[in-house]
Amino acid sequence: MTGAAVLAALAHAAGSFGPGLLAAAVGTPVAILAACAISRGRRRSPALMVLAPLPALAAALLAGFGAPFSYKSRAFDVTLALDAPGAMLLGAAALLWIGAAFYAGADGRGGDGDGRFRASWLLTLMGSLGVFVASDLLTFFLAFALVSLPAYGLIIADDNASRRAGAVYMAFTVAGETLLLMGFVLLAAGEPNGSLQIRDVVAALPGSPWGGAALALVVAGFVMKIGLAPLHGWMPLAYTAAPLPAAAVLSGAAVKAGVIGLIRFLPFSHALPAWGEGLAILGLFSAFYGVALGITQTNPKTILAYSSVSQMGVIAAVAGMGLASGDLRAPLDTAFYAAHHVLVKGALFLAIGACAAAGARRHWLAFLPAAALALSLAGLPFTGGALAKLAVKGTLGSGAIGALASFSAAGTTLLMLHFLFRLARNPSPDRGARTSGQLLSAWFAMALASILAPWLLFPLTGGHLSDALTPAALRESLWPMLPGAALALPLWRWGGRLPHPPAGDIVVIGEKIIRASYGAGAALERVEAGIRQWPAAAMALLGIAIILGAAMATGF
């Protein structure tokens, strides 16, 4: 069969199986959760957790290589659709969820007695897959809440640090949901025909009387989800506290709910230079801020978290520049860059456990793929990272922002070398890490997938693989890495003299403000205690009657 025939067959299959597969992709996790209510399901739960993302992976392959398709539920007001950017992220996320579930099973999590982890995992999974396929506002909001709230159960454990991380995470999450809710309400109110389809409300956004407020709120909500500085405080705390497989899926897959949010909700068909450049500048600030704070950290998990702050900054910069110029290719390019990050960041978290599990003698066996992946994040030639940088080059443009964005690779190189150095130095930071063949094989499979998948996906963005292999392209991806590598030496030598801000840095200020607000609460409590006295209540009764009467009299 020729390639064209295969594609035609895939497109045909997408038409006939696609819709059902979409429903299955989102429904399977919750079905498995229900199966775990009975004890036979519970005993098999580690295996079921591995299988849960499979329908999503199949749907992603079908839509990515076949044709887009959609699904509309008859019973509920739920509409799902899968297009190329969604499919790319859905496929990458599903792969990571499978690998991480395999790893979690080897790590002894989510089994019969670990109901909290299992339920949190499956619900977060459902939301994580759901955001990529939701095609109306309410379904998206539901999926976004699912990918955000139950993750609390993945972060917390029995120590004060994780409780604090969980509390900070929840505060950010609930605040972000609130912003997003208001933004969505404004989007819906601005759509003249009453449609709730994301496509329609975004198309109506530029003409809506509340367009500016809606865009600001929605972007703020997604920026909180992807943890751009200065709203990044929860990220280092949560990823440091969460067990490795949970940190992997949160940093790799769950955070992309914010990225797909930007992809879906920014009106790329209208060039909005001020909005776009504002977002890009915020993103670039985050890209360098993450590096600056990351190199002061010693825990490999925390370093990876700050790397996420930085990488999400680059993604925001790409999306912002796409919006600034009204670039319709930006969604797909952003999705490709993000898909690469899904796999690599997830795999790197697993690498921390794999290096510990491999033991001193075989440490290099686990370490070498980790090194390749870490440098892939910085855009090392011949890696998926180089392809990702190439894909977003056009959108970033050749101006100051484009130059700064490509220079951020120097920072990433430095931060990743720092990570590798700490990974080699303290191989066992996580409690309960144990030597196990399944754990190592989960890591190798994940690493392999992360290295190969970008090469398979790149042609879908419309690029040619050969473009990445020209001497000019190689040179261009290599040169920003050199200053980073050069700086790594002094960091390694004198890094100990850097200040050591705590993980989450400025979140401490936010916590102080919250604590200070307890005083206001106490004051309100005193006022309320006064109101609850009989004389006050009797006066209130009288007063309300008089005021209402007077208001009516003046109204008439």
Partner 1 sequence: MQAITTALTATMGGLLLALAIILPVAGVLLSFVLGGRAAERIALYLMPAGLGVAAMIALGVWRSGAPLVYLLGGWPPPLGIALRADGFSAVMLLTTALVILCAGLFARANFPTPAGVNEARAPFAFWILLQGLWAALNMVFLGGDLFNLYVALELLTFAAVPLVCLDGRAETLLAALRYLVFALFGSVLYLLGAALLYGAYGTLDIGLLSSRISASPAVWAAAALMTTGLLAKTALFPLHLWLPPAHANAPAAASAILSALVVKASFFITVRLWFDVLPSLPVETPAAILATLGSLAILFGSVLALRQERLKLLIAYSTVAQIGYLFLMFPLAAGLHPWTADAWSGGVLQTLSHAFAKAAMFLAAGLVAETLGHDRISGLRGLGKVMPMSVFVLGLGGLSLMGLPPSGGFTAKWLLLMASVRSGQWPWAIVMLAGGLLAGGYVYRVLAPAFASADLSLKAPAPRNRERIALALALCAILLGFAPSGFFAFLQIGRPALTAIP
218 binding partner 1? (CB under 8 A): no
Strand, helix or coil at 84? Answer: helix
What track of x and - describes contact with partner 1 for positions 68 through 87 (by CB under 8 A)? --------xx----------
The least distance separating partner 1 from the CB of residue 272, rounded to whole angstroms, comes to 22
Residues 246 and 254: their CA atoms lie apart, in Å, by 10
Distance in Å, CB of 553 to partner 1, minimum? 5
Other C-beta atoms within 10 Å of 54: how many? 15
Name the residue among 442, 448, 388 with its Cα closest to residue 412. 388
**Distance (Å, rounded) from C-alpha 198 to C-alpha 204?**
10
What number of residues does the chain have?
A: 556
The least CB distance from residue 235 to partner 1, in Å, is 19
Choose, by CB under 8 A, the member of 210, 288, 421, 444 that binds partner 1. 210
Residue 170 is a binding residue for partner 1 (CB under 8 A): yes
**Are 329 and 394 in contact, with CB atoms under 8 Å apart?**
yes
For partner 1, give the closer residue by CB, 52 or 186: 186
Q: Does 174 bind partner 1 (CB under 8 A)?
A: yes
Which one of 93-101, 360-368, 438-446, 521-529 is the stretch in contact with partner 1 (CB under 8 A)? 521-529
Instruction: Give the distance from CA 154 to its chain's centroid.
Output: 15
23 binds partner 1 (CB under 8 A): no
Q: What angle do CA 234, 240, 246 make, to 5 degrees?
A: 95
Question: DSSP assignment, residue 71?
Answer: E
Q: Which of residues 105-124 bind partner 1 (CB under 8 A)?
A: 115-116
| 368 binding partner 1? (CB under 8 A) | no
Pairing status of strand 79-82 against strand 69-72: antiparallel
Question: Residue 512, interface with partner 1 (CB under 8 A)?
Answer: no
Closest of 234, 310, 257, 316 to residue 281, by C-alpha: 316
Using the contact rule CB under 8 A, the part of the chain among 11-19, 95-103, 134-142, 391-399 near partner 1 is 134-142
Task: Give dist(CA 215, CA 179) in Å, integer.
Answer: 11
Beta pairing partners, 69 = 82
* Interface with partner 1, residue 537, by CB under 8 A: yes
Measured from the CB atom, the residue of 197 and 436 that comes closer to partner 1 is 197
Integer Cα distance of 269 and 294 in angstroms: 36
Binds partner 1 (CB under 8 A): choice among 7, 11, 35, 167: 167
What percent of the residues of the chain are helix, what percent strand, and what percent coil, each to the nearest 5? 80, 0, 20
If one asks whether residue 138 binds partner 1 (CB under 8 A), the answer comes out as yes
CB of residue 153 vs partner 1: minimum separation in angstroms? 7
Binding site residues, partner 1, CB under 8 A: 76-77, 115-116, 138, 141-142, 145, 149, 152-153, 156, 158, 163, 166-167, 170, 174-175, 177-178, 181-182, 185-186, 188-189, 210, 521-522, 524-525, 527-528, 531-534, 536-538, 540-541, 544-549, 551-556
